[in-house]
Amino acid sequence: MALIVQKYGGTSVGSIERIKNVARRIIATKHQGNQVIAVLSAMAGETDRLLKLAEQLEFDPEKINEREMDVLVSTGEQVSIALMSMAIETVGEKACSFLGHQIQILTDDEYTQARIERIDPERIHKALYDGYIVVIAGFQGIDKEGNITTLGRGGSDTSAVAIATTMKADLCEIYTDVDGIYTTDPNICHQARKLAKISYDEMLELASQGAKVLQIRSVEFAKKYGIPLHVRSSFSADEGTIVCQEDKSMEKAVVSGVAANKNEAKITIHGIPDRPGIAATIFSSIADRGIVVDMIIQNISEEGLTDLTFTVPKDNYQYSLSIINDICRQIGGKNVLGDEKIAKVSIVGIGMRTHANVASRMFSALARENINIMMISTSEIKVSCVIAEKYTELAVRVLHDEFQLDKDPDYKE
């Protein structure tokens, strides 16, 4: 008898009909001789409905009461688990729902962005032992004073992995509205191929470069505790993609996927006096405002002056620009330039570690299409290039083609 954790996203439980379908799927898994824990998101649209109610209060977004925001939005998952438990019982199996406070999903107290610290397995164990299908609200927990906390958008993935870890589950299935992880976004590139397997590290790079299937933290969690994830569709019986430890079969591919991200903007400060401490002044002033800087490039200094370019989330662009203009004056820089019309395309693959020419192949492929590269950043298993936004889709297709991602690497010459 295996213990299986199944996480169903908002689209999968987006209507009563879909809840019934999921109930049948959960029961089928149980009837195959398994114990099942289902972790649910809010019904699609519900979280937005709740946020819109709050917006009508017209409060100052800077002064938002995040504790109460979490009290509000956590009701979405509560509705889902109650309906799912009833749906399961309608078909004749026993089900029992649990909220964060009932199984002590303990988090830190960072409202709206909390991190799970531990979960009490006892009550879940007892319910499973008594023959219940356990249905748990994703996305939420409590801090040590019993206040409700939430884990950020996509947090149900992390809930599922944390529960799978705590319960020492044999498998954690992530049911979503796509049928797995693709070599790239199929909407951009029709040759995109579903991957049978991908390593945690590749998944982490793809997710942080813009692939939205899994919350990054859930992958980190799964990697840390070695829980294999099966990302698959709740609308079909097809196998999806297994996210797991690296193995030999994966290394055959030089590149596993291509990701694109249009959510960043770049800012350049020209003519900065090249002396110690300047970069620290600039980036601490940005970080202090909670703005996350992604790529940073400093050009070679000429005549004691240097240029610094970095990217920030597009949402924070105007705010960042005004901060940087102030700082430029303070430190005696020449001028500040910004560009919102950029995109970052990335290739990801653990095979890069043993193949020297991957980056140069990427640059050549882009050059052949006259796509200019504005910034480059690399990690052990990733190369990212910032290009003009208008070339995003073209770049993705070119790179997908260059590294033959449409072909299964097992059959590669």
State the residues that interact with a copy of itself by CB under 8 A: 16, 19-20, 50, 53-54, 56-60, 63-65, 67-69, 71-72, 74-75, 78-79, 81-83, 85-87, 89-90, 95-97, 99, 101-102, 146-148
Number of CB atoms found within 10 A of residue 83's CB: 19
Tokens 């996203």 belong to 9
3-state secondary structure 16-45: HHHHHHHHHHHHHHHHCCCEEEEEECCCCC
Query: Minimum Å distance from CB 369 to a copy of itself?
Result: 50
Query: Minimum Å distance from CB 87 to a copy of itself?
Result: 5
Q: 259: exposed, middle or buried (C-beta count within 10 Å: 0-12, 13-18, 19+)? A: buried
- The nearer residue to a copy of itself, 75 or 285, going by C-beta atoms, is 75
Sheet of 35-40: strand order equals 95-98, 133-137, 35-40, 3-8, 171-176, 229-233, 241-244, 197-199
- The nearer residue to a copy of itself, 97 or 256, going by C-beta atoms, is 97
Asked whether 348 and 362 are in contact (CB, 8 A), the reply is no
Query: Minimum Å distance from CB 20 to a copy of itself?
Result: 7
β partners of residue 194 = 182
Query: Minimum Å distance from CB 61 to a copy of itself?
Result: 11
- The nearer residue to a copy of itself, 147 or 285, going by C-beta atoms, is 147
- The nearer residue to a copy of itself, 135 or 160, going by C-beta atoms, is 135
Query: Minimum Å distance from CB 390 to a copy of itself?
Result: 41
Q: Which amino acid is at 203?
A: M
Tokens of 297: 């490039």
CA distance 47 to 52: 9
Query: Minimum Å distance from CB 85 to a copy of itself?
Result: 4
**Rounded (10°) angle between helices 216-225 and 155-166:** 10
Query: Minimum Å distance from CB 234 to a copy of itself?
Result: 18
- The nearer residue to a copy of itself, 62 or 410, going by C-beta atoms, is 62
**Rounded (10°) angle between helices 216-225 and 200-208:** 170
- The nearer residue to a copy of itself, 36 or 350, going by C-beta atoms, is 36
CA distance 261 to 240: 24
CA distance 394 to 377: 20
- The nearer residue to a copy of itself, 12 or 183, going by C-beta atoms, is 12
- The nearer residue to a copy of itself, 63 or 190, going by C-beta atoms, is 63
Query: Minimum Å distance from CB 164 to a copy of itself?
Result: 23
Alpha-carbon distances of 27 from 20, 24, 92, rounded to whole Å: 11, 5, 9
